[in-house]
Each structure stands twice: as structure tokens, then as C-alpha cells.
Amino acid sequence: MTPRSMKATALTLLMSAALFTFSCKDKKEEDKSIDANSSTNTGRDVTGDTSTSTVESAPTTTAPATTITDDQLKDAIKDYPNVTATANNGEVTLTGSVKRNDLPKLMQRVQALNPTKVNNNLSIK
């Protein structure tokens, strides 16, 4: 082999190794995020081990029931005359009609009260 062909071979091997290293790095990061966000057990942990493992979920805690007053509800919907809101055991029920553009702001105002649930029975104009 001539020195020129040896250099070309070495350069080709070096570039192939670099390409392989960088392309595999992105794939491993993607696999980790998929495994970390997955709710099903795929039989592999984030390190790529294929041994069977068990997945324990964190204990669930329930928030104490939120008391939402009529004054808070009136204040939240004051800019929406066609909307009525009622609260029962922390659940807010919205009825009436609202413009499509106003709905996100209305929902933000209601969610700021920290209800346990929002029943949206609104019709969109």
C-alpha cells in the first residue's frame, strides 16, 4: 500500500467512526426520553438492558377539596355576560355561550380558582 492510499483509508475509517458516534448518540438520547415518558413497560430500562424490570408508580395524592365562593366565580366570569358558573364541592360548571376567542381566557380565569374539575357546558359562538 502506498502512503497516499493508507492516508485515504485512515481518513475514511476516522470519518466513519465519527459519523457512527454522533448518529448513535442522538438515538440513545431519543430512546431515553421515550422510555422515561412511556407508561408501558417495554422490558428495557433507559440504559438499554433487556432484562425484565418492574415499574412502580408513584403514590397518588388527592388535593383537599377546594372551596370556591360565589364571589370568586362572579369575579372570574364578570367579563362574560352570557356565561353562568356554579360551584359544588370544588367542581365548577360553566353554562351559556362564549365567543371562540374568549374561551381560553375564561378557562384560565376559572382554572386560577383551582377547582377539582371544570364541567364545560358552554356553546361556542
Choose among 122, 38, 45: nearest CA to 80: 122
Write down the domain spans for the chain.
Answer: 1-57, 70-124
Residue bearing cell 374561551:
103
Tell me the fold of 70-124. Answer: Alpha-Beta Plaits (3.30.70)
Task: Supply the pLDDT for residue 40.
Answer: 52
- Tally of CB atoms within 10 A around 6: 10
| Distance, CA of 6 to CA of 12 (rounded, Å) | 10
Residue bearing cell 430512546:
31
**Sequence-ordered list of residues with C-beta below 8 angstroms from that of 86, at least 6 positions apart, any chain:** 73, 92, 93, 95
Task: Supply the pLDDT for residue 16.
Answer: 76
Spatial contact of 98 and 122, defined as CB atoms under 8 Å apart: yes
Task: Supply the pLDDT for residue 53.
Answer: 47
Task: Supply the pLDDT for residue 15.
Answer: 78
Q: Residue length, the chain?
A: 125
| Strands of the 91-98 sheet, one edge to the other | 83-88, 91-98, 117-124
The DSSP element (H or E) to which 92 belongs, if any, is: strand 91-98
Extract the C-alpha cell encoding 43.
422490558
pTM score, whole prediction:
0.49
Q: Write out residues in the chain with pLDDT < 70, as ranges.
A: 1, 18-66
